[in-house]
Structure formats: structure tokens, C-alpha cells
């Protein structure tokens, strides 16, 4: 009972904090937080493949990019598109891409999976550079109108104000992360983890392995598209280098590794740590990746379960300490 109350209290405190955050920290840090939240969702979708299904992707950026370009294109070329429609277009573009690729991708694993994604990711990158008439080449697509959030006659919120966009982005990204968390807790989620541990036995238990992987793949791709869509609207820009570049495929992998691969919340921690490092180091140097790379090496050498691994071992030491003091 007290546990339940504690849960409610901590959730309300957390939500209240999110609500007053823009007032407390100003526009700059509000935008930093939105960036963090975008990458948190993006990294969580990657971890759905990596941590939960055992599939390492080096081309996750193509889904992020599909979401971004989908949203940007529909906002540029169609009039009267609502905010939710723009978001939906981004989501569905990424889902579409995942649907096209999944017949191949669910039948490979390990290195082949990683390399095929590297290849397709680079293909998307080159396509976005070459198909200038559609994608705007290196310049990307920018300056498209950002629709307001409206419920006719009741609410009208202008999304051009950073604070308003913050609430919209946090709501969408938070809800997406919650949905993915719930996804991992369903019966399907437990079958998915079974595929990671022993796909052959899952087959022998009566589950279809390729179909299971396909669902995970489409969900992971689609929600990476949501992150990309929000990112495109946030920056009012989507470009080949910003969304589809290979570094953007490595970023969520690094976030997941640093945060902790074995837990749902690890990638979120990873995204936060990433954001903090970037904030701190970019004051002194342009070479943010150098610092991040160094930290990644240290994490892999000393704490393979990442930041969450450190938290867990501290918690364990604390409980054994308490038990010892009692006896």
C-alpha cells in the first residue's frame, strides 16, 4: 500500500518537475531537454533490437531519417496538415521502411544484420544527397510550416513558441517511451526476450521466430521515426548529415552501451549522460566524439553493464551493508 502511494507521489513530483522545467531553466536548457528526450526515445528503440532481441543495427538512423523526411515532406507539400497528421506521417514512413526491409532482416542475425543495416543506412544517406529535387540534397528540407496544436473551438496552441513545443514534444516522446516499456512487459515482450536467448527453443515451443522479430523490428523502426519526426519539427529542418549520417546510427548504440544494455531505462540514462558530456565538453572543444569515445572505452573495459550496472552494484553493496549491520 505504502509502495503504491510512494509510486504515485514520485510520479506526480516527476510530472510537476517536467511541467515547471521551462520556467525554472529558461529557453536554452528547455531546448537541451527536448534534444535529450528525442535521443532517449531513439536510443530506447535501438535497445529494443539490441538489448531485448539481440540484434545490433548499424543503420538505425534510416528510420530516424524516414520519420524526419516524412514529416518534413508532408508539411512542405501539403496545405492544412495538422500536427498529429504530420507526426503520423513520420511514424508511418518509418513503419513503411521497416515493412519493406523486414522480410530480409528477420532472416539474418549477428554480423549479417549489422552489416546489412550499415549498407542500407548508407544507401539512404546517399539517396538523400542525390535525390535533390525531393530531399534538397545537402541542404535538406527546412523552413516548412509547423502547424499549431488545435482542438477546434477549445484549444489553440502555437507551436512556434519553444515552450509550447517543449510540452508537445515531451508528451509525445514520454508517451512513446511508456508504450515501448509496456510493450516489453506484455506476453509478446517475454517471447521477444526468449528469441534473444534461444531462438531455436522458441521455435520448438511453438512460436514463429521470424514473425516475432518482424513485429519488434517494425515497432522499433516506427518509434525511431517518431523521434525523427519530432526532431525535424523541433529544428524545423531535416538534412542528410543531421538525420541519416552514419554517426547518427552510432549515437544510439553508444548511448545504449554507456547507459546499460541490460535494462529498459539504460538507454535513457545513456542519452542523459551523452547530453551532459556534450554540454560540458563543447564549451572547451569541438571534438565531443573524442571524449564520448574515451568514455565508451572505459565503460566497456570496467563496467560492461553501463551506468545502470554501476547503480545496481551500489544498490547491492548498500543492501549487504545494511544486512551486515543488522547481524
Give the residues lining the site for another protein (CB under 8 A). 182-183, 185-191, 193-194, 196-198, 200-209, 215
Q: Are strands 155-157 and 149-151 parallel, antiparallel or unpaired?
A: antiparallel
Which residue's CB is nearer to another protein, number 117 or number 213?
213
- C-alpha grid cell for residue 274? 551523452
CB of 181 vs another protein, minimal distance in Å: 10
Which residue's CB is nearer to another protein, number 146 or number 199?
199
CB of 320 vs another protein, minimal distance in Å: 18
**Distance between start and end Cα atoms, the chain:** 28
- Residue 40 contacts residue 184 (beta carbons within 8 Å): no
Strand partners, 155: 151
- Residue 44 contacts residue 268 (beta carbons within 8 Å): yes
Which residue's CB is nearer to another protein, number 133 or number 197?
197
**Residue found under cell 512542405:** 76
DSSP class of residue 143 equals -
CB of 159 vs another protein, minimal distance in Å: 31
CB of 188 vs another protein, minimal distance in Å: 6
CB atoms closer than 10 angstroms to residue 283: 7
CB of 71 vs another protein, minimal distance in Å: 25
DSSP class of residue 240 equals I
CB of 186 vs another protein, minimal distance in Å: 5
CB of 132 vs another protein, minimal distance in Å: 41
Of 303, 304, 292, nearest in space to 39 by CA? 292
> Rounded to whole angstroms, how far apart are CA atoms 236 and 230?
9
CB of 56 vs another protein, minimal distance in Å: 17
Which residue's CB is nearer to another protein, number 186 or number 282?
186
Which residue's CB is nearer to another protein, number 181 or number 321?
181
- Residue 271 contacts residue 39 (beta carbons within 8 Å): yes
Which residue's CB is nearer to another protein, number 152 or number 206?
206
Which residue's CB is nearer to another protein, number 64 or number 264?
264
- Residue 50 contacts residue 260 (beta carbons within 8 Å): no
- Residue 157 contacts residue 149 (beta carbons within 8 Å): yes
Which residue's CB is nearer to another protein, number 135 or number 192?
192
**Residue found under cell 513485429:** 215
Strand partners, 157: 149
Amino acid at each position: 500500500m505504502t509502495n503504491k502511494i510512494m509510486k504515485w507521489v514520485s510520479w506526480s513530483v516527476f510530472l510537476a518537475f517536467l511541467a515547471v522545467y521551462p520556467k525554472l531553466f529558461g529557453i536554452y536548457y528547455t531546448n537541451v531537454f527536448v534534444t535529450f528526450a528525442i535521443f532517449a526515445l531513439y536510443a530506447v528503440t535501438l535497445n529494443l533490437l539490441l538489448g531485448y532481441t539481440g540484434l545490433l543495427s548499424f543503420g538505425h538512423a534510416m528510420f530516424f531519417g524516414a520519420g524526419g523526411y516524412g514529416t518534413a515532406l508532408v508539411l512542405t507539400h501539403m496545405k492544412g496538415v495538422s500536427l498529429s497528421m504530420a507526426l503520423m506521417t513520420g511514424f508511418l514512413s518509418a513503419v513503411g521502411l521497416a515493412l519493406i526491409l523486414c522480410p530480409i532482416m528477420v532472416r539474418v542475425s549477428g554480423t549479417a544484420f549489422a552489416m546489412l543495416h550499415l549498407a542500407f543506412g548508407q544507401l539512404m544517406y546517399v539517396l538523400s544527397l542525390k535525390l535533390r529535387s525531393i530531399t534538397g540534397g545537402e541542404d535538406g528540407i527546412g523552413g516548412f510550416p509547423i502547424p499549431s496544436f488545435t482542438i477546434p473551438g477549445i484549444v489553440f496552441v502555437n507551436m512556434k513558441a519553444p515552450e509550447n513545443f517543449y510540452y508537445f514534444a515531451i508528451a509525445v516522446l514520454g508517451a512513446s517511451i511508456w508504450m515501448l516499456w509496456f510493450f516489453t512487459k506484455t506476453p509478446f515482450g517475454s517471447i521477444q526476450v526468449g528469441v534473444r536467448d534461444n531462438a531455436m527453443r522458441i521455435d520448438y515451443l511453438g512460436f514463429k521466430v521470424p514473425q516475432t522479430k518482424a513485429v519488434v523490428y517494425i515497432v522499433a523502426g516506427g518509434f525511431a521515426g517518431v523521434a525523427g519526426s519530432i526532431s525535424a519539427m523541433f529544428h524545423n529542418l531535416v538534412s542528410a548529415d543531421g538525420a541519416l549520417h552514419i554517426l547518427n546510427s552510432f549515437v544510439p548504440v553508444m548511448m545504449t552501451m554507456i547507459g546499460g544494455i541490460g535494462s529498459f531505462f539504460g538507454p535513457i540514462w545513456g542519452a542523459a549522460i551523452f547530453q551532459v558530456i556534450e554540454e560540458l565538453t563543447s564549451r572547451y572543444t569541438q571534438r565531443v566524439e573524442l571524449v564520448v569515445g574515451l568514455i565508451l572505452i572505459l565503460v566497456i573495459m570496467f563496467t560492461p553493464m553501463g551506468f545502470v550496472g554501476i547503480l545496481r552494484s551500489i544498490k547491492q553493496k548498500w543492501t549487504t551493508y545494511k544486512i551486515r549491520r543488522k547481524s
